[in-house]
Each structure stands twice: as C-alpha cells, then as structure tokens.
Amino acid sequence: MELLAGDNDMLAEVLFKPKEYVCDVFAGVGPFAIPAAKKGSIVYANDLNPSSFEWMKKNIETNKILEGIRPYNLDGRAFIQQAVRDLQSTNEHQWKTFDHFVMNLPAIAIEFLDTFRGLYADYKHLYDANAKLPLIHCHCFTKSSDPLQEITQRVGEVMGEMPDSLKTTVHWVRNVAPRKDMYCITFPLSSTIAFANDKRKIEKDNEQEDADVSMNSHPYFFAKSLPAYM
C-alpha cells in the first residue's frame, strides 16, 4: 500500500487514455468527464442534480463532443448498476467492463462502494483469465493522522473485504480545513466482491436528502458553464 502526495491532476494523468471506458459517478457539470472524452476515453457520466445534468449536456454540446460521452441523471448507486448493464449490452457475448470508476463526492462517496458487491454477478459466465476488472478511484475526507490505514479500513468495512494492499494507493489531493484533508483511494475491484452472491439491492431512494446537502455545498453547483476544451 502506498501513500502519495500531489494534486488532483494525478487522476487526469492516469485516466486520460484513449479508448478506455470511464464511469464518472458524480460528474457534476463535466469538468473531468468532458476533457476525458475529448482525449478519447469513452465516458459514462452521471449527476443526480437535474441542473448539473442539464449543464453537463450543454457543456458536451459546447465542446462539440459528438460521441464518446453518455450523460445520466440518476442516484449514484442506481447509475453504477445501470452503466454496467448498458456497457455489457453493447456485446452480450463478451466480457465488457469499465477500466475506471471515478467517485468524486468526498463527503459520502465511500458509502456508495457497497454497490460493487455482486455488481458483476450476472456476467460471471463471461469472465475468463484474460478479462479485467475496473480500478476504483474514490475521493474522501479524513482527519486521521494515519490516512492510509483509516481510509482503507473504511473502504474494507463498506465493501466487506479490505482492498488488496499491494495494489492500493492513497493519494493526497488537498487540505480543506485545519487538520482535514481530501484524499483519493485507488484500488482494483476484486473478483470476490465483483461476483459476490449478496448483491446490494437499491431500496433507499430517500438517500436523495444526503445528496441535496452535498450538492448545495459544492462549488461546481454554481460553476455551470465550462469552457470549450482544446
């Protein structure tokens, strides 16, 4: 397990690869998803806030992205499941998966990781030795003096299994308040989680209330119009 320092561009560096499938669960108005699509990634981008969703679509138009990005307006949990179904339906007979899940809602994103339990259970028959599983990049806050341990522990509790320590990095993003920092944990989805039999059911629509709080406190809620990226 590795603790890295740097800024948020690390994700862009890692993710902006042509032809990779990227699932942006909390995409806002598209400040990450749109440049990724411009660079040739195939991006499924979601935001629950209807206003952010509308502005994301406008920003896609402004940037003249004709293909390579697919906008959704769903709760994060429902979106993760829907996006996996939609991608797999592009070829029913062959294993299809995202290369990356990006989860930038630092206050509560870790809680959404339970969605990955059994996420691929319906497609296990298509999985073989050459198939890959996605990398998850999940933002979070911590006040801990041992962020690596505290964050991986929380991830493990939500997912029901600790992430593989040899393949996990915890990346410092920025300081947000005295003794409070934002981090991004990156780890591969394990096959035991992906194909778990205790698949999570989407039953809590009232999680919307939590979402509204975080929407209203986020700067991108106000910064709607993105520039046309080169």
Ligand X SMILES: C[S@@+](CC[C@H](N)C(=O)[O-])C[C@H]1O[C@@H](n2cnc3c(N)ncnc32)[C@H](O)[C@@H]1O
Cβ of residue 227: shortest distance to ligand X, in angstroms? Answer: 14
As a whole number of angstroms, the distance between CA 197 and CA 194 comes to 9
Cβ of residue 125: shortest distance to ligand X, in angstroms? Answer: 30
Q: Which of 44, 98, 183, 220 binds ligand X (CB under 6 A)?
A: 220
E strand map for the chain? 2-4, 21-24, 42-46, 69-72, 100-103, 135-142, 169-177, 180-188
Q: Which of 21, 41, 47, 147 binds ligand X (CB under 6 A)?
A: 47
Q: Could you give phi then psi for residue 198, rounded to 5 degrees?
A: -90, 65
Under the criterion CB under 6 A, does residue 53 sit at the interface with ligand X? no
- Cα angle 141-149-195, degrees, rounded to a multiple of 5: 90
Under the criterion CB under 6 A, does residue 52 sit at the interface with ligand X? yes
Q: Which of 26, 98, 116, 187 binds ligand X (CB under 6 A)?
A: 26
Under the criterion CB under 6 A, does residue 48 sit at the interface with ligand X? yes
Whichever of 26 and 195 has its CB closer to ligand X, that residue is: 26
Tokens of 61: 């138009």
The strand order across the sheet containing 42-46 reads 2-4, 169-177, 180-188, 135-142, 100-103, 21-24, 42-46, 69-72
Q: Which of 105, 151, 155, 189 binds ligand X (CB under 6 A)?
A: 105
Residue number closest to ligand X, CB atom? 28
Cβ of residue 177: shortest distance to ligand X, in angstroms? Answer: 15
Cβ of residue 32: shortest distance to ligand X, in angstroms? Answer: 4
Cβ of residue 99: shortest distance to ligand X, in angstroms? Answer: 17
Whichever of 110 and 195 has its CB closer to ligand X, that residue is: 110
**Cβ pair 87, 81 in contact under 8 A:** no
Q: Which of 28, 68, 118, 134 binds ligand X (CB under 6 A)?
A: 28
CB-neighbour burial class of residue 125 (10 A; exposed 0-12, middle 13-18, buried 19+): exposed
Cβ of residue 129: shortest distance to ligand X, in angstroms? Answer: 34
Taking CB under 6 A as the binding criterion, the range among 21-29, 121-129, 141-149, 168-176 that sits at the site for ligand X is 21-29
